[in-house]
Amino acid sequence: MNKRNKSSLTKRIMMIIVFSLGLFGAFYVFIFNTSSKLSDHITMQTTPQPTEQFITTPPPTPTPVVPSATPKLQYTEAVWIGAGDIMSHKPQLPGSYIAAEQRYNFDPIFANVAPILKTGDFVMANLETPIAGKDVGYSGYPLFNAPDELAEALKHAGFNILSTANNHSLDQGEQGLLQTMKTLDKLDVHYVGTALSDEMTKKQVIVEKNNITMGLLAYTYGTNGIAIPAGKPYLVNLIDEQKIKSDITQLKDAGVDIITVALHFGIEYDPIPSEEQKQLARKLVDAGADIIAGSHPHVIQPYEVIETFTSAGKKKKALIIYSLGNFISNQRGDTKDYGVLYKVNLKKELTSNFTELTDITAIPTWVHRYKPDQYYRYRILPVEQVLQQQQDPLLAPNDYKQLKSDFAMLKTRLESMKQ
Ligand SMILES: [Zn+2]
């Protein structure tokens, strides 16, 4: 082979190598792209849905018949969030006091749940303490009086509606109750179940969000033996089935989209609703209530979703929460340190005004109490989120262990009346 032939052969071999490399490269790029797309696809398919919601999700709402010529919005939605008892026991005060500023700051207590509360439009709880002013002196059980800063912290956390009808409404007498209402008025927080005057009771409590109107009612079984001042029944609403039914009817006549009734009832520390609770709640649903927000037992009780009908005969769902438990308190043990937030989606069909409860989610919360110095500190923690994240700097492995088993037990309890 001469030099020329040799070099042309080398050239040819080089060309074959370059060509093969090019071919291999193109093939590699093709395979790589395809497999990465495929693996993306699989990841998307297998990523578990967030499991915050362990409660019945009602079947998807039937898609409305949309007239093809009108592409405008057919629905409006809003979120209702309910929380349980807001207690103000004496040990809760000193750890929240800022001596240098001579004021309380309860904001840190709610910091871990505020992001959830802020996703709501109608955000309510049961305020189980008067806010009667500094001059009266702050006190815990049995005759409560909490600082104004507690109401401010509730507002900061996202609450805009508070039920003030409970067995502690009159702990600081008529003046204490009037002062509580004035404080809430100043903060622009709606209150329900108590009134400043007879004239005010005749004014319905209706809150509107996103074009959905909610009529609110609240009643208590009693006021711990403290008599409601003579001639002033408007001060605190007592449970009276006929009265509640007529109040519901009046709200329906006013055309509200959703009716929420807060009931302060049941047996303290009983994890199961009494027959009396069940009968009353179900009767009120029959009368037109959409959500019954029960409180007082200081422990979580199960919920029920009941099928009912609108006055026009259309099927709808109603939610009965027998007891929301303690949202914040100093009570410990036997699940008294737990509460549950309910998050309910309200969906209104704009042409018919038919409004229904769609997603219902229960979010158990735990009051974490700890003692960094001589005073207790408190934080309300969303249990499932804390268990998932496993990175709370203030919780020890034993806390997680306890939370995990309590969470499972509470979940079973909550769902025990599920049909
Ligand atoms: Zn109570």
Domain boundaries, the chain: 75-414
Its CATH architecture, for the domain 75-414, is: 4-Layer Sandwich (3.60)
Report residues of the chain scoring pLDDT below 50: 1-4, 24-57
Q: How far is the CA of 304 from the centre of ligand 1 (A)?
A: 21
Distance 199 CA to ligand 1 centre (A): 27
Q: How far is the CA of 353 from the centre of ligand 1 (A)?
A: 36
Give the separation between CA 174 and CA 176, rounded to whole angstroms: 5
Q: b/e string for 317-355 if b means 16 or more Cβ within 10 A? A: bbbbbbbbbbbbbbbeeebbbbbbbbbbbbbbeeeeeeb
**pTM for the whole thing?**
0.82
Residues 159 and 146: their CA atoms lie apart, in Å, by 17
CA of 299 to the centre of ligand 1 (A): 11
For helices 173-186 and 148-157, what crossing angle results, to 10°?
40
Cα of 337 from ligand 1 centre, angstroms: 15
Instruction: Please state, in angstroms and as integers, the Cα–Cα distance from residue 334 to each residue in 221, 297, 305, following that order.
Output: 23, 12, 26
Task: Tell me the CA–centroid distance for residue 77 and ligand 1, in Å.
Answer: 32
CA of 208 to the centre of ligand 1 (A): 28
Alpha helices, DSSP H only, in 47-147? 107-110, 114-117
DSSP 101: G
What per-residue confidence (pLDDT) applies to 17?
52
Ligand 1 centre to CA of 26 (Å) is: 73
Give residue 313 CA to ligand 1 midpoint distance, Å: 36
Query: How remote is the CA of residue 87 from the centroid of ligand 1, in Å?
Result: 9
Structure tokens at 73: 């919005």
Beta bridge pairs of residue 393: none
Tell me the sheet residues that pair with 162: 125, 191
Q: Is the separation of the CB atoms in 131 and 220 below 8 Å?
A: no
Q: How far away, in angstroms, is 165 Cα from ligand 1 center?
A: 9
d(CA 392, CA 405): 18
Distance 128 CA to ligand 1 centre (A): 7
User: Residue 390 C-alpha to ligand 1 middle, in angstroms?
Assistant: 33
β-pairing, 122-127 with 161-163?
A: parallel
- In the reported structure, the alpha carbon of residue 39 is separated from the centroid of ligand 1 by a whole-number distance in angstroms of 55
Q: How far away, in angstroms, is 88 Cα from ligand 1 center?
A: 12
Query: Of 265, 329, 249, 342, nearest to 297 (Cα)?
Result: 265
Can you tell me whether residue 360 is helix, strand or coil?
Answer: strand
Please tell me whether the peptide bond between 142 and the residue prior to it is cis, using omega within 30 degrees of 0: yes
- For the chain, the first-to-last Cα distance in angstroms comes to 92
Cβ proximity of 340 and 414 under 8 Å: yes
325 closest CA partner among 380, 271, 285, 281: 271
Dmax (CA) for the chain in angstroms is: 127
Q: How far is CA 194 from the centre of its chain?
A: 22
- The pLDDT, as a whole number, for residue 312 is 84
- Residue 120's closest CA among 160, 152, 85? 160
Rounded CA separation 410/265 (Å): 20
SS3 of residue 132 by DSSP: coil
Q: Which two tokens stand for residue 170?
A: 């009159």
